[in-house]
Structure 1
């Protein structure tokens, strides 16, 4: 890994580097394509209009460490996003950090940079891997970028003083969670502002008020890099439907979901279904057999795919990250984004008690989207 020379500790009230002429050296950890996209958006906002940081060759202040999961669809999108990051001039390190002794080797290799780097950027504060890395850092500035709507739950849990737990999980997490509790607790303290550490939230989600109350600095992600880098899009004549992995996470019943998609497709003359990267092939096969929808497997996050086009002039979605992000990425194009709520009857028996409230909150707080009536 590229070793950073020890640097004077920065003033946590300022994002500038030690000399004040540009951003502080930063180390970012990403595990999903959306996280990597939002790190690029954050980097763009850090250097926008700053003297001496406009060119790609000046972007060496940021090193992205990609910690890919085993899922092939996620890995494929991550590789494409890594190429875009390198095109922007950033250093990208692809680190196979899972399985066998790989986690221990990775943590050992990153421990020195984590102690020296003045700023750390993370995309998933719920990840145990990220929590372990945060527990090792001495950085006086931490930035949390969006990992989708989970950012809303992260801020809410931080405000309540809760243990960091994904919203769709049930139970206490078992013995493994108890063993990991000391590490998780230290990581949580790293994500809490203090006299010696500033914590920023770079988000397109409605977290400004709660973040400010916690002492976090809320930075708005308006997808300026995406709009500048891609588009304007080409358009199709049909309506597009965005898929969700709520079935795969055990929140929504499969048969109820397939019926809802069929109803929406028929009512709104949808022709294409953009699959979530975690949707199973068997489910997608059943879906296209029942509806005739063309299944599209995006090779990049949907914000970039939509901005590049071709895309329908109307996009339908269930409650998900895209009802917040697509209106920003597609600003000025005239594309309508509409959202259909999740009927409580669609939830599985094993769904978290928080599921309905969380999903309703995603829709209720979405800006500039059309709300559709629920489908039977």
Structure 2
């Protein structure tokens, strides 16, 4: 992937009162909306409504607010539903296009610009669905939807494909999209804009951990995709070489965290911020190791210029459970690239 900063996208409107609304449910969605607004290419004023009930999202909101939000951004008190999408704004930032609440809002809303921001692997899955020859329901991978949700997902796909044909759908991403998928997106009218976390990189540097080796945690054990035993052995193997700081995934549970907390060679970080925010202070003495994840790409973009090695290990076949479909395993392989080649 070319990690050079994309030039700021040209605004779709010239009116200086262009306003945007965003409903964010994860820290990455929030960071992505802030980066998109920072380019100046989508809106002059963006109001962000975080979903309530997520400690990690609350911590991220507090951290970015303390650091100083981009000019023109207001982050509202958290709520349980995407009520901002009921207002007559010019642009909607969309984090989770598979959410039933978001899909219903998209169908109720009138004509406007849509900017899809990163939501992990779901962003790539969404693009693949929207670029099919015919419209297919927008449903999450590995989920069996009810007939009602399939109908809702199909109607949403039709709405977004129509927006793409009219030049009103943009995907704003830091992910290494396959060339074929980029071509397919362009063919149906979807504009893809890359970014390199320009706003986040401009923030004052964060404190760096004393440990030289950082292991990024994964939620794949919690999600039933990986067996816990080999995963823990992999982490402990790194700790056998030198002291390790383990940066847990926000959805990890006791199956992985309790054994790691009990090992004196491992310090489990506890502040709850996304890796992109909490690890931006790493420098060339640090080495980051991870299983395939979107955070690998994000950290390479953020830290490559500081000489930080960010490595993604391939997952051996024996680690996978029966719930990990071959398509998912292949999907994750886009994040296993040589670290030097990714700069």
TM-score by length of 1: 0.77
Q: Aligned partners of 2:339, 2:96: CA distance in 1, in Å?
A: 21
How is 1:240-259 mapped onto 2 (pairs within 5 angstroms)?
A: 240-259=214-233
Contact 2:312–2:335 (CA<8 Å) still a contact in 1? no
Following superposition, the deviation at residue 16 of structure 1 comes to: 4.5
Deviation at 1:329, TM superposition (A): 1.1
Instruction: Report the count of equivalent residues.
Output: 328
Matched, 1:324 2:297: yes
1:191 aligns with 2:175: no
Tell me by how many angstroms 1:89 deviates.
4.1
Q: Which residue, 234, 249, 266 being the options, matches 1:260?
A: 234
Q: How does 1:212-291 map to 2 (within 5 A)?
A: 212-231=186-205, 234=208, 236=210, 238-267=212-241, 269-290=242-263
* DSSP 3-state at the match of 1:319: coil
Give the distance between the partners of 1:77 and 1:232, measured in 2 at CA.
Answer: 14
Structure 1 partner of 2:173 = 203
Listed one character per residue, the Cα deviations across residues 77-96 of structure 1 (whole Å, up to 9, x for unaligned) are 34434555756441222343
Task: Give 1:232 shift.
Answer: 7.5
C-alpha distance in structure 2 between counterparts of 1:111 and 1:243, whole Å: 34
After superposition, the Cα gap between the structure-2 partners of 1:133 and 1:338, relative to the gap in structure 1 and judged at 3 Å, is same
Using the alignment, how far apart are the partners of 1:189 and 1:225 within structure 2?
33
3-state SS of paired residue (1:308):
coil
From the superposition, tell whether residues 284 and 131 of structure 1 become closer, same or farther in structure 2 (CA, over 3 Å): same
- Per-residue CA deviations over 1:172-201 (Å, capped at 9, x if unaligned) read 23xxx3122232222222322345451001
* Aligned match for 2:34, one of 36, 40, 46: 40
Q: CA deviation at 1:230?
A: 3.3
Distance, in Å, in 2 between the alignment partners of 1:272 and 1:318 is: 15
Equivalent-residue separation in structure 2 for 1:282 and 1:76 (angstroms):
23
Q: Pick one of 99, 116, 124 that aligns with 1:144.
A: 116
Return the alpha-carbon distance in structure 2 between the equivalents of residues 154 and 124 of structure 1. 9
Distance 1:66 1:150 in 2: 19
Preserved contact between residue 15 and residue 24 of structure 1 (Cα < 8 Å): no
Tell me the SS of whatever aligns to 2:297.
Answer: helix
2-structure distance, mates of 1:112, 1:323: 35
TM-score normalised by the chain length of structure 2: 0.84
Which segments of 5 or more consecutive residues in structure 1 lack a partner in the other structure? 1-12, 49-58, 98-105, 371-376
Partner of residue 64, structure 1: 48
Question: C-alpha separation between the residues in 2 aligned to 1:33 and 1:139?
Answer: 28
Q: Which residue of 2 aligns with 1:351?
A: 324
Q: Name the counterpart of 1:118.
A: 90
